Each structure stands twice: as C-alpha cells, then as structure tokens.
Amino acid sequence: MTQAETPQSTDLAASEWLTDSNGHFALAIRHGGNRLFVEQSPYQTVEVFQTETFGKMLTIDSMVMCTEVDEAAYHEMIVHVPMQVHGDVRNVLVIGAGDGGTIRELMRYEQIERVTMVEIDDAVVRASKEFLPSISSAFGHPKLDLQIGDGIKFLQAAAAESYDLIVIDSSDPVGPSEGLFSEGFYRDVYRVLKTGGSLTVQSEGPMFNTSAFKDLNQCLKLVFGQDSVNCYLVFIPTYPTGMWSLTYCTKNGPHPVKALDEASTTAFTTSHPLRYYNIDVHRAAFCLPNHIKAMINE
Amino acid sequence: MTQAETPQSTDLAASEWLTDSNGHFALAIRHGGNRLFVEQSPYQTVEVFQTETFGKMLTIDSMVMCTEVDEAAYHEMIVHVPMQVHGDVRNVLVIGAGDGGTIRELMRYEQIERVTMVEIDDAVVRASKEFLPSISSAFGHPKLDLQIGDGIKFLQAAAAESYDLIVIDSSDPVGPSEGLFSEGFYRDVYRVLKTGGSLTVQSEGPMFNTSAFKDLNQCLKLVFGQDSVNCYLVFIPTYPTGMWSLTYCTKNGPHPVKALDEASTTAFTTSHPLRYYNIDVHRAAFCLPNHIKAMINE
C-alpha cells in the first residue's frame, strides 16, 4: 500500500504527534505542532512540546521523559517509597533527573541536609527550568548541589559509605544512559551507599523494554543480593504500555513494605498535597502480577 | 510541514499498524499487514491481526479488545475478584464478552451451575472461535447458554433476583455498547441481581476516557449506593494509557477486599495456572492513586 492509500497514517503525522516506539509498540501524544524548545545537545535531542491533554511534555530523542499532568506518579514513587521506610536520610545522591521532579519531592523532607544531583546534560535542566516550572521548582534550593557531569565517573571517584539514599533517575538504556545499566556501575553504587541505606532505580517497562527490565533486575540482585531487591510498579500513562517499574534495593537497610510506619506516613501524606502516592499505593505497588514475577523469577 | 517532510508518519502507516486513538492520545501495535479476519457486521468492524509481539489481536472499530499476550489481566481480574469474595455463585449472567475470555475464567469454578452470556454480535464470537482458541476455549462448555442478542433488552425482560453475579464486559461507549453506560440499564442490572450478589463492570481508562469513567462511576453509585461501588485498576498494556478500571458493585453482598478468605483464595490460585491474578494483586488493585480517587470523589 502506498502512503496515499493509508489515510490513518496522517492521523499520527510527526508534525502533529510525538511518537515513542520500540518498533512493535508505540504511544503517540498529540501536540499539534506546538514545539516550545528544541536543542541538539552533545548527548541527545531535547524537546519540550505543549500537548493537548497532558500539559507540557519533555522528550529526549523522541522518548517521553515526563508530562506536567502525570509526572507526579513517577517522581513521588521514586522518592517517597525509600524515604518513608528510612527514617533518617540526611545525605542523598541523585543521578540523572534533569527535569527536577525528583529533587522537588526530596526537598519536602526537613531532615535531608544535602542533595547532590549529577546530570550529564545541561540542556535538560535549562529546558525544564524555562518551560516546566512546576517540575523544576527546587533547582534554587539551598540544600541542592547540582553538578553537570558524568554520573558514572562521579560514582567511581566518590568515597565509600557516603549516602543514605541514592536515586538513579535515568532515561532509557540507549545513548548516554547506557552505562547506567551495567554491573560495574551498580558495584560503585553499592560501595558509595552507606550500610543501612537505600537505592531506587528507574527500571524500565516490563512489557516494553522486557530485556532491559530483566537484565537490570538480575544485575541488581547480583550486586545487592536476592532478598534486598524489590521491584514495584507504577501507572504512567505517558510511558509506553503505561506499566512502569521502579526497583528498591537496600544495603542491609529496611524492607520497603514491612518497615512502613502507618502513623508517620499518614502524617506525611496528610501534610503534603501529593497527586499519586499514599500509604495504600505504596504497599500495593510491590504486589506484582504473576507474569511480571515470572520475568524476574519471583 | 507537508507529508513528505514527516518521515516518522510512515512508521505508523495504517497498512502496518493498528492505531487506537481518542484524538489526543494513541497507542499503536504493529501487525505488519498481517490481518487474519475482517467482517463488517451490522454493528461494527471486527478484525483479527497477527501482531509481532502481542500474539493475535482482536479489534472492533480499531479499538483493541484483547491480545493473546495480555488478555489474562482483564479476564482474570473481572472474574476472580467477584468470585473470590462470594462463596456461593451458581447462576451468572455475562453481557458482551464475545471473545470468550470471561467465560473461560468462570468455568474454572465447579460451583457455578449456569452461565448465560448475551453478546450482540455473532461476528465477534466467530472470529474468536476461529483465530483465538486459547481465549474462546469455553464456548463448547455444557454450562454455557450463549445467546446472540441485545443485552439491554435481555435485562429488561429478565426476572428480578435471578443472578448471583453479573459481568458487564462491554466495548467502549460508542456504537452498540453506548446503552450499557446508562442509568436505566443499571437499574435493570440491580433488579435482576440477587440480594447478596455482585456485579463487575468494564469501566474505562481513567486517563483515556475520563468522562466515561467518571460518569459511569457516578451512575453506579446512584444505583447501588455510595458504599457498594468499588473501582479497581488493572495494568493492560494494549489498552490506551495501560491503566484500565473495572468496578465491583454489590447488592448488600460482600466487600471486595474485606471478605477475601486468604486460605481459600490461595488454594484456588495454587491449583490454577493464572497469569495475572493472585491474592496480593486482588487487594492491591483497589488501592487507588490520589488523582484517580479525586476523579470519583473518594
């Protein structure tokens, strides 16, 4: 069939829609040509679009990083799950997370003394600061030490037992994020994490990047030990398949569900206007469907 | 931009991809032109495609009904949630569900004496029987009374207090399914349901068909009462946004979580090779993120 005979194809014309595809499955979000920002950085193409129903949307190499409407699911779940089970996080390291949503959620905690954030691509930070003010609102925070640089090298050079919490908030394992999916990298993460500390990792869509999801789970179990790695799921409508995984790991620290304290978590959620996270959702996220358990031999 | 300047648009050409869109958000699944079945029935266009990664896929008017790879999430959750909390279901009514997945799951229960299924479109049943044998495997079951006809009229004519469980397994609220989203219809459902009985309903994607989701929830609360309606969520990668809702309602029957019996549900799941449902997932599905609660004032 020629292009002229496929009327539906024009419905998703690249001039009107952002398409995030793995070649077999795609999601597409309509922006109607309303592109607010584009920059070809040394690492990737960074764009911001005004979408019709998801607010503004940040993309890297045509992969959706976040939208204003549903970003809270990801950022609240990658931060509040480890924070609610570890009562004394003071020193945090964040790798990636250039849009700023992760540090916004971290800064809700008075007890945190310092957040070091290492983002490789300044263009992501600039795009978010200019066009996504509700997500990038914590970039001026006095506790933040923002470093534009390579997270892999940063960890190699970092001292052992330095951080109570490490968050790996990377894009997908292509381009500059590829090294964030390797055993060597996680050996460094483990070394740099304090005993009793926690790690949360963006661990891909099980039904979209199945190999990356399985490989990363296996790698984390190798480094942290079988019983110290817990996968959890989040509904993210603007990520392909809508089913996204995060993974909680700990270096002899608290269990991500058993260590929850009902009273203190309820006090926290009552005093913060969260859009996704609540104590029931925290527990529920770790209840995996059988087919996801099977992928990671659980 | 003209068509010639938008190379990405050809990636999702209608000859190669099925696109399920609401005009703002779309998912697309690649079939590479491999269409096994097409029929323009009196009601709708029914098609079956061989996809590259989701097995065979049934669509109605370009909306995904099910794929072989992920249909279990929907069918197991619409059936086992009500079945596991109502210990004595004998007489079941199913409206829609033409692919057969719902009756396949129902037939796992020895205690069930009769399943009456009313599907308006024979073409769906024929397509599924011929091309989706793993889904349509229960059509020959001796307990099944399959009626090709209008579910709305069937319910209007049915006697009060007839069924222990009613399952409304409809397509989206356009075309022949539109009347399945009205108060009058659910007044009939309520009348026909036995006291102590349960209802589960396909209640749309909160982030895709937001109005339909909200309106149906309000309608069900009006008919069944505020405290007898419980929305729950399922990950369905091949439905747009991946976040789909089902709703459990009861006519003075069991609560969908509190009434769960750990021992009997575990015995059930141990003896059946389910792909999605387990007792933890059952409970977790009712834990709604804050933004979904807000949509339905919970």
Residue-level pLDDT at A11 = 61
pTM: 0.94
Is the pLDDT at A81 greater than 50? The verdict is: yes
CA separation for the pair A109, A92 (Å, rounded): 11
A178, A55: one domain: no
Q: How many domains does chain B have?
A: 2
Dump the DSSP string for A213-268. Answer: HHHHHHHHHHHH-GGGEEEEEEE-TTSTTSEEEEEEEESS---TTTT--HHHHHHH
Chain A positions touching B51 (Cβ under 8 A) are 24
For B181, phi then psi, to 5°, come to -120, 30
Helices and strands, number each (H, E), in chain B: 9, 13
B113, B41: one domain: no
CA A130 to chain B, closest CA, distance in angstroms equals 25
Mean pLDDT, rounded, of chain A: 93
Residue-level pLDDT at B14 = 80
- Alpha carbons within 13 angstroms on the beta-carbon side of residue A72 total 16
B286, B182: one domain: yes
B98, B243: one domain: yes
Q: Mutate which of A1, A5, A6, A268 to disrupt the B interface (most B C-beta within 10 Å)?
A: A6
**Nearest to B296, CA basis, from B201, B222, B189, B185:** B222
B62, B88: one domain: no
CA pseudo-torsion sign A203, B284, B268, B137? negative
Say if strands B114-119 and B91-96 run parallel, antiparallel, or are unpaired. Answer: parallel
Q: State which of A35, A66, A97 marks the end of a domain.
A: A66
A38, A93: one domain: no
A61, A101: one domain: no
User: Would an 8 Å CB–CB cutoff place B70 in contact with chain A?
Assistant: yes
CA pseudo-torsion sign B133, B137, B139, B140? positive
E strands along A41-178, which residues?
A: 45-50, 56-60, 63-67, 91-96, 114-119, 144-148, 163-169
A82, A168: one domain: yes
Residue-level pLDDT at B118 = 97
pLDDT in tens, A217-252: 999 999 999 999 999 999 999 999 999 999 999 999
Neighbours of B110 (CB within 10 A): 6
Q: State which of B47, B66, B85 marks the end of a domain.
A: B66
CA separation for the pair B256, B84 (Å, rounded): 8
Q: A30: domain range?
A: 3-66
Quote the percentage of chain A above a pLDDT of 90: 88
Regions of chain B short of the pLDDT cut 50: 1-10
Residue-level pLDDT at A133 = 98
Chain B positions touching A277 (Cβ under 8 A) are 289-290
Kindly determine whether residue A28 and residue B30, on different chains, have CB atoms separated by under 8 Å: no
pLDDT in tens, A176-193: 667 777 899 999 999 999
Using CB atoms, pick whichever of A8, A14, A27 lies closest to residue B7: A14
CA separation for the pair B178, B281 (Å, rounded): 30
Residue-level pLDDT at B5 = 31
CA separation for the pair B243, B239 (Å, rounded): 8
A165, A53: one domain: no
Quote the percentage of chain A above a pLDDT of 70: 94
Q: State which of A30, A46, A66 marks the end of a domain.
A: A66
Which residue's structure tokens are 């394992």?
Answer: A173
User: Would an 8 Å CB–CB cutoff place B174 in contact with chain A?
Assistant: no
**Nearest to B213, CA basis, from B187, B238, B231:** B231
User: Would an 8 Å CB–CB cutoff place B222 in contact with chain A?
Assistant: no
B136, B235: one domain: yes
CA separation for the pair A78, A291 (Å, rounded): 23
Using CB atoms, pick whichever of A1, A242, A281 lies closest to residue B15: A1
CA separation for the pair B95, B116 (Å, rounded): 8
Find the residue in B nearest to A270 (Cα): B290
Looking at residue B122, the DSSP 8-state letter turns out to be H
pLDDT in tens, A93-121: 999 999 999 999 999 999 999 999 999 99
For position B193, which CATH number holds? 3.40.50.150
User: Would an 8 Å CB–CB cutoff place A21 in contact with chain B?
Assistant: yes
Residue type, B183: E
Find the residue in A nearest to B7 (Cα): A14
| Alpha-carbon Rg for chain B in angstroms | 19
For position A21, which CATH number holds? 2.30.140.10
B92, B175: one domain: yes
Average pLDDT over residues A200-226: 95
pLDDT in tens, B270-286: 999 999 999 999 999 99
User: Would an 8 Å CB–CB cutoff place B287 in contact with chain A?
Assistant: yes
Structure tokens at B293: 């609660």
CA separation for the pair B62, B64 (Å, rounded): 6
Residue-level pLDDT at B254 = 97
Q: Mutate which of A12, A69, A209, A231 to disrupt the B interface (most B C-beta within 10 Å)?
A: A12
Kindly determine whether residue B8 and residue A25, on different chains, have CB atoms separated by under 8 Å: no
Chain B positions touching A50 (Cβ under 8 A) are none
Q: Do A239 and A64 touch, CB atoms closer than 8 A?
A: yes
CA pseudo-torsion sign B229, B230, B231, B236? negative
Structure tokens at A71: 């970003």
CA angle B165, B166, B172 (to 5 degrees): 150
B169 is catalytic: yes
Q: What per-residue string of b and e applies to B245-271 under the rule 16 or more CB within 10 Å gives b?
A: bbbbbbbebbebbeebeeeebeebbee
Residue-level pLDDT at A171 = 72
User: Would an 8 Å CB–CB cutoff place A11 in contact with chain B?
Assistant: yes
B30, B78: one domain: no
Using CB atoms, pick whichever of B10, B208, B236 lies closest to residue A9: B10
Structure tokens at B154: 């069937």
Q: Which of B169, B172, B261, B280 is catalytic?
A: B169
For A22, phi then psi, to 5°, come to -110, 15
Kindly determine whether residue B287 and residue A280, on different chains, have CB atoms separated by under 8 Å: yes
User: Would an 8 Å CB–CB cutoff place A17 in contact with chain B?
Assistant: yes
